[in-house]
Structure formats: C-alpha cells, structure tokens
C-alpha cells in the first residue's frame, strides 16, 4: 500500500483481488475510492462491478469501446 501514499489520479489493477477474500477486496477498493482515484480494473470477479460505472471492451484487433456497465 506504500504507493497509495502518493495518491495518484488513476490506479491500474490487474486481477488485484484474485487472491483476496470478499472482505479484503472491499477494504482495498474502499480505500481507493475514498482517495478519489480513478480505477481501471482487469477483472473476472463479478463482485468488482459495484466499484465501477463503465466498461472498456477490447476487441483483440486494436479496437475498443467504452460504455456503461450492462445491467446484470
């Protein structure tokens, strides 16, 4: 958590909570959101949806689309 002391504007999280339980995940994302950081997460866990409001989709050919999260 030392790098969080600098309070960057954006944080890139690549499967950052894959080895954490739900409580630790909530603690981590809660700390980031309280610091008003922009979060970019690579994720497979559906539980991370609640910490984001947009979805960036990459098509594998250099194209991308940014939009609202689809409703579950």
pLDDT, tens digit (0-9, with 9 covering 90-100), for 42-57: 888 888 888 888 988 8
Three-class HEC string of 4-62: HHHCCCEEEEECCCCCCCHHHHHHHHHHHHHCCCEEEEECCCHHHHHHCCEEEEECCCC
Q: Residue 59 is encoded by which pair of tokens?
A: 């098509």
Which of 3.40.50.1970, 1.10.3720.10, 3.40.50.300, 3.90.226.10 would CATH assign to domain 2-68?
A: 3.40.50.300
Mean local confidence (pLDDT), 54-65:
93
Residue 51 in contact with residue 29, Cβ under 8 Å? yes
pLDDT of residue 65: 94
The residues spanned by each domain of the chain are 2-68
């Amino acid at each position: 958590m030392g790098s969080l002391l600098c309070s960057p504007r954006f944080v890139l999280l690549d499967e950052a909570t894959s080895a954490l339980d739900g409580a630790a995940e909530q603690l981590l994302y809660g700390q980031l959101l309280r610091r008003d950081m922009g979060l970019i997460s690579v994720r497979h866990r559906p539980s991370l949806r609640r910490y984001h409001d947009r979805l960036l989709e990459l098509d594998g050919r250099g194209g991308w689309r940014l939009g609202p999260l689809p409703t579950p």
